[in-house]
Amino acid sequence: MSQIVAYMFDLTEERKQQIMALGEPPQLIEDIDFQMNEDGLIVFTPWYLLRRGFCCESACTNCPYGEDSTAVQN
């Protein structure tokens, strides 16, 4: 497990809001924003998905919004 994924497990709600306020990164960085799975497909990290600022309701593997996927895009 990458350090960024491990970091995401213990975030407070306040810290999550601060990360969401950063907005999408201008360029994706492997192992921070995404990882490649065994099939060669991109899997976004919880860090990137939270920075994106909303749940796309596509049942992403690392969705940080969990059961409460009511966050909306700014």
CB atoms within 10 A of CB 60: 17
pLDDT in tens, 40-61: 999 999 999 999 999 999 988 8
Rounded Cα distance, 29 and 25, in Å = 9
**The predicted structure's pLDDT at residue 44:** 93
Q: Are 53 and 46 in contact (CB under 8 A)?
A: no
**The predicted structure's pLDDT at residue 6:** 74
What sign does the dihedral 53-59-64-66 (CA atoms) show?
positive
- Show me where the domains of the chain are located: 1-74
**The predicted structure's pLDDT at residue 74:** 42
pLDDT in tens, 12-40: 889 889 988 999 889 999 988 999 999 99
Q: In terms of residues, how long is the chain?
A: 74
Q: Report the predicted TM-score, pTM, of the whole model to 2 decimal places.
A: 0.75
